[in-house]
Amino acid sequence: MIEVGSQCSYPLDLLRALHSFLPIFCRCQLYFCREHSPADAHNCTYTRTTESSSAAAGPSSPLQRCAADKCTKPSLESFISSSDIEGRTPATCPSCNASFCAEHRHPKSHSCQIKPLEVPKNEAARALLAKNFPSKAKAASARRATKVPTDPVKLEQFRKLELMKMRHSAVPADPKDKTAGIPLDDRVHVKVAVDDSAEKVFWVRKVSLPALQVHAPFISPKVFGNRSSFGSSCFPTQIIVL
């Protein structure tokens, strides 16, 4: 038994048992193949009933035709445009949103002109504001040095809190070190801020603190000249060692 599609309801096709894999449902509640789907091709009873009931009120509006050039067949959308099914999917081209018949429904068959994607208004406005009024908050927060308290009690609290933050985001200064292999008690955490760049947090072994110089060029190539020493033109604006 063929489970995909439906048999065309056109009388001759019923005799021939013509099966359509893409049947079209007409307003007369019958399925037809592409050739017999237009109302005038299968003597649609729905059209005749509508015409007879509205004869006194004047001529009824014709079905919407296919949007393809020189095609006079009704569009697929015209058969379901009056449907009251909530949330139904329109029978239109997904690229150009035009309505076509069964023969021209594919984009390649009607030389589809794809509409450009519209940029949401809020995104365009946000991009315009960012271009004309660049935010200085991030740059200011990056340049702002951490204020170290002078009170002994507050200083101790500051050190504990700062150490927790540094341990959470620190990376090994020496690429050879692995985070899982070095206990926390054997590490020295270093926070470095250079000019207006963001702060960088590293950790080094307590026995190899100079390894920070190995990673120094990755903080700011303009400041550190090579892998062995700090540059002589300028220095980090803040260094916190815990």
Residue after which a domain boundary falls, among 12, 37, 60 = 60
Residue after which a domain boundary falls, among 34, 60, 86 = 60
Q: What is the pLDDT of residue 83?
A: 62
Alpha helices in 144-211 (DSSP H): 152-169
Whichever domain contains 9, its CATH number is: 4.10.1110
In a domain, 223, yes or no: yes
Residue after which a domain boundary falls, among 15, 37, 60 = 60
Spatial neighbors of 217 by CB under 8 A, at least 6 apart, are 224, 226, 227
Per-residue model confidence as pLDDT tens digits over 55-104: 444 445 567 888 888 888 888 888 776 665 666 777 888 888 888 888 88
Structural domain boundaries, residue 211: 145-241
- Residues (pLDDT < 50) of the chain are 1-2, 54-59, 139, 141-142, 211, 215, 217-238
The answer to whether the beta carbons of residues 177 and 154 sit under 8 Å apart is no
Rounded to whole angstroms, what are the CA distances from 122 to 55, 118, 119?
51, 12, 8
Q: How many separate domains does the chain show? A: 2
In a domain, 122, yes or no: no
Q: What is the pLDDT of residue 232?
A: 36
In a domain, 23, yes or no: yes
Residue 91 per-residue DSSP state: S
Q: What is the pLDDT of residue 201?
A: 82
In a domain, 119, yes or no: no
Per-residue model confidence as pLDDT tens digits over 1-19: 445 567 787 776 555 656 6
In a domain, 111, yes or no: no
Spatial neighbors of 130 by CB under 8 A, at least 6 apart, are none
In a domain, 185, yes or no: yes
And the tokens for 68? 């393809």
In a domain, 12, yes or no: yes
In a domain, 237, yes or no: yes
CA atoms within 13 A on the CB side of 142: 12
